[in-house]
Structure 1
Amino acid sequence: MLWIKSLHIVLVASWFAGLFYLPRIYVNLAMEKDPAATARLLLMARKLFRFMTFIAVPALACGLWLWLDVGIGRGQGWLHAKLGIVVLLLAYHAYCGVLLRTFQRGENTRSDKWYRMYNELPVLGLLGATLLVVVKPF
């Protein structure tokens, strides 16, 4: 169980690295005027999104294993709240893909300031999930 928990933590940390960094690439893309720099940033964004998606799958699998097989949090309210946050983070991840396709088509209409604000949302998710797991308030 401790091996799976450790793996889950490492995989989630890796996924969050992408959730934090990809919108920062979008900030730069929203400001960029040079086609060569835009192409380089789009390549970075595509590779990062692919990595994030690849790493999210085993992170979720380990979390489900801990919940369904090991029984961590089973029947406890804090876990249901955490699962709600995970669903929101998955929606955020999916929307990052939508935004990437918008940039790839050259159809971005949002400002770099909007992307800076958007970039802060996973911090709230990480804070909420961590507090729920550590404090277990209900």
Structure 2
Amino acid sequence: MPWLKLLHISAVIVWCGTLLYLPTLIASATGPRQAPVLEQAHQRVLRGLFTFVVTPAALVAIASGTAIFVFMGPLTVWLIAKLAVVGLLVLSHATCGLLVLKAERGETRLAGLCAAVTVFSMAAIALVAWLVLRKPF
């Protein structure tokens, strides 16, 4: 069981860290125009990060968290609250995916939305951490 918890915590760290980093990367991709070669490279990095790092980390975090719940025991109020907040992280993840698509289409002026997604993600991550560490209910 400790290996499953280690896998879960590692995946959550990667997922949450990239949820905080990705909007900044998107905002920089939609800023002032660069050389076409650099723009294409930036788009590949955005797509690759979302497809090959953020999404697999999210899937591993959710799957390992589900396995821990199945093996460890009862459904408690704090766990239900945590799962609701994890749903907010999934919403943030999906919004980052939409921002990646908008950046690929060449839309500009995404910095404000990227900042909002970062603040939203930060709040959700802090709330999950508080719920896990305090188990207030």
Task: Quote the offset at 1:109 in angstroms.
Answer: 4.6
Q: CA deviation at 1:131?
A: 0.5
Partner residue in 2 for 1:103:
103
What is the rounded CA distance, in whole Å, between the counterparts of 1:112 and 1:75 in structure 2? 40
- Identity percentage of aligned residues: 33
2:70 paired with 1:68: yes
* Deviation per residue, 1:57-98 (Å, 9 max, x gap): 111111001112222xx3311111110111111111112111
Structure 1 range deviating more: 94-103 or 29-38: 29-38
RMSD: 1.5
Gapped regions of structure 1 (runs ≥ 5): none
1:10 is matched with 10
User: 1:118: how far off?
Assistant: 2.2
Greater alpha carbon shift after TM alignment, 42-51 vs 115-124: 115-124
Give the deviation of 1:24 after TM superposition. Answer: 0.8
Give the TM-score of the pair, scaled to structure 1.
0.89
Match of 1:132 in 2: 131
How many pairs were matched up? 135
Q: Does residue 23 of structure 2 align to residue 23 of structure 1?
A: yes
Q: Which moved more, 1:38-47 or 1:5-14?
A: 38-47
Look up the match of 1:77: 77
TM-score, with length taken from structure 2? 0.89
1:12 deviates by 0.7
Of stretches 12-21 and 31-40 in structure 1, the one that deviates more from structure 2 is 31-40
Contact 1:32 1:38 in 2 (8 A): no
